Copies of this chain bind each other. A is one copy, B any other.
Amino acid sequence: MLPLAVEPIGTVRRRADGSSVLEVREEFQEGLLGIAPGDRIQVLYWMHKLNPQARRRLQVHPRGDTSRPLAGVFSVRSPMRPNPIGVSSVQVQAVEGNRIVVAGLDALDGSPVLDIKGLPDR
């Protein structure tokens, strides 16, 4: 199967207080219309620090704990997987132009953002 191309729409910036900023590229900023503090969003990001060799591993010890039996990468949420796309649900703290401040995003600083999707209220 042919590879498909995804284009980053922005970048994750980690802040010292543990929150993160989704810095959206200006050409995509109008896509943020309607996102407001308190909203829950789903963030898709590229796990860019993953060693490319890790993309070939299909079984892992969950949480790196070798006392646990091997599990298929598709049965867990390990970053090791053929397509290193992370999906995380977070709450919006602030929106400032092309920057969305969120709490609890586990993406590393510099991770390319691939998509943001609104989530229904709980």
A interface, CB within 8 angstroms of B: 1, 3-9, 24-25, 28, 30-35, 39, 41-42, 44, 46, 58-59, 70-77, 81-83, 85, 87, 112, 114-118
The answer to whether A72 and B114 touch across the interface, beta carbons within 8 angstroms, is no
Contacts of A117 in B (CB 8 A): 74, 76-77, 81, 87
A100: nearest chain-B partner, CB-CB? B74
Within 8 Å by CB of A31, from B6, B58, B77, lies B58
Contacts of A82 in B (CB 8 A): 7, 9, 28, 31, 115
Known: A1-B112, A28-B58, A115-B85. Is A71-B33 also a contact (CB below 8 A)? yes
